[in-house]
Amino acid sequence: MATITGYGLSNVKRDLSDVLSTVIAKAPRFISRFKLVDPAMDTKHEWNEDSLSPRTISMNAIGVYSDPTFTLKMSAADYAAIKVGTVLRPQGSAAVLQVTAKTSVTNVAAVAIALNGVTAAAGLIANTTVLDIVSTPQSEGSNNGDGEDAVRVNANNYNYTQIIRKEMILTGTALAKKIYGNVDNSVNAQTAFKMQEFMRDMNRMSIWGIRTASSGSVLGQSGGLYNFATATGGLSVTPATALDLSSKFVNDGAEKVLAAGGDPNLILCSILQARKLSAEYASKLQVVVDDSKTGQFVATVKNDVTGQLMTIMADYDVVVDEAWVLDDSGFGLSFYRPLEDEDATTAGFDGIKRSILGEVTFEFKNALARCARIKGLSTS
């Protein structure tokens, strides 16, 4: 290497993981919703799924109604989730039922304890297959085991790590220019630029990556949102015709996530759909004297299902005719090897070369319960 005056990093290896994490956290992109989690222990990074407990049960069939008793048939998991005394409400009905006996492996007996204006007791649950769990009242002096069981067994899931690498080159000619700042400042400026490239690449990886194990000629990849959240059993909302993204579809998606045990707080969509969703709320905006910024884009909306604020994230890497309603509390970014840079200048090279190398992966805990995909939106 030609002698570069002022270059003091030739024998220095720098850990850039914290730098990249800071860049990611400040980026207005999907990747910024991934919190830093524990380092991966292997190229196959495994995690325990959270014990989400949807407060509903689904009936396989409705048994015989014999005034005033209902026989409800359900899965073994739902059967284990309720106790004698559990109060249920058929979705779509104002009536309230209470479990009086668990009669077999999947059958329970229940009676209507309040009709609330519903006149035909036999038809209370004829038009629904889902019942909300209202509560399980406890008697005085209850014992351990009398409460509701945590029956949803902790499963596990996994992702593979992916090697990320970039080369940074500063030629001797570029370094010879008489500009303000020394050589190390030029290296740091190029490093900051590469961190922005890593952030954009990882944003696309977190959406479109395909989980792939590294073997021989097969390059290992980390799976992204579509890989995990569109698998069998994933939540989705599909308009009957191509319509603009609106609060209705957001609420539909939020309701599905909430029913699955998640807590939706993020709307991920393309820039076009974000503009359409913002337009719905534009007429409701008020500008007051103290405001220093004005405009029509709405960054947060109050969800009608949960009553909580949800962030609208417009990301150019999202398909233009789709959107997502997400609970991002299960997203994580894990380093298997920290992102580091070191000198890679070869003998005789006219300039400076530095190599930046690391290995990362993503966590998507309970993606099938925390992510609802909205498909078939209008692109006009």
CATH code of residue 198: 3.90.1690
Q: Looking at the structure, do residues 175 and 191 belong to the same domain, yes or no? A: yes
C-alpha gyration radius of the chain:
27
CA distances from 380 to 120, 242, 258, 320 (A): 47, 10, 31, 10
Residue 143 lies in a domain: no
Q: Looking at the structure, do residues 265 and 187 belong to the same domain, yes or no? A: yes
Give the domain extent around 93.
56-135
Residue 298 lies in a domain: yes
We report the CATH number of the domain holding residue 106 as: 2.40.10
**pLDDT for position 113:** 79
Q: Looking at the structure, do residues 122 and 39 belong to the same domain, yes or no? A: no
In the chain the first and final C-alpha atoms are separated, in Å, by: 56
**pLDDT for position 181:** 53
Q: Looking at the structure, do residues 78 and 130 belong to the same domain, yes or no? A: yes
Q: Looking at the structure, do residues 341 and 230 belong to the same domain, yes or no? A: yes
**pLDDT for position 294:** 45
Residue 206 lies in a domain: yes
41: helix, strand or coil: coil
Residue 2 lies in a domain: no
- The structure tokens 């006009």 sit at 380
Q: Looking at the structure, do residues 127 and 274 belong to the same domain, yes or no? A: no
Q: Which long-range contacts (CB under 8 A, 24 or more apart) does 182-189 make?
A: 182/6, 183/4, 183/5, 183/6, 183/7, 183/352, 184/6, 184/7, 184/8, 184/9, 187/7, 187/9, 187/352, 187/354
Q: Looking at the structure, do residues 32 and 121 belong to the same domain, yes or no? A: no
Tens of pLDDT along the chain (380 residues) come to: 455 656 667 777 889 999 999 999 988 899 999 999 999 999 999 998 877 766 777 776 555 556 667 778 887 777 877 888 888 888 777 778 888 888 877 788 888 777 777 766 555 655 556 788 888 888 787 777 666 665 545 578 999 999 999 988 888 777 776 655 555 567 778 888 889 999 999 999 999 999 999 998 899 999 999 999 999 889 999 888 888 888 899 999 998 898 888 889 999 999 999 888 888 866 554 445 555 554 445 577 777 766 778 888 899 999 999 999 999 999 999 999 999 998 888 887 887 888 999 999 999 999 999 999 999 999 98
Please state the domain count of the chain.
2
**pLDDT for position 182:** 52
**pLDDT for position 329:** 93
Q: Which of 135, 170, 196 is the last residue of a domain?
A: 135
**pLDDT for position 221:** 96
**pLDDT for position 267:** 93
- Residue 303 buriedness (CB in 10 A; 0-12 / 13-18 / 19+): buried
Residue 177 lies in a domain: yes
Q: Looking at the structure, do residues 194 and 81 belong to the same domain, yes or no? A: no
Q: Kindly provide the b/e burial profile for residues 165-201, where b requires at least 16 CB atoms within 10 angstroms of the residue's own CB.
A: ebebebeeeebeeeeeeebeebbeebbeebbeebbee
Q: Looking at the structure, do residues 77 and 35 belong to the same domain, yes or no? A: no
Residue 361 lies in a domain: yes
Q: Looking at the structure, do residues 274 and 201 belong to the same domain, yes or no? A: yes
Q: Looking at the structure, do residues 63 and 211 belong to the same domain, yes or no? A: no
Q: Looking at the structure, do residues 212 and 272 belong to the same domain, yes or no? A: yes
Contact 249, 237 (CB under 8 A): yes
Residue 144 lies in a domain: no
pTM assigned to the model = 0.75
CA distance 149 to 23: 43
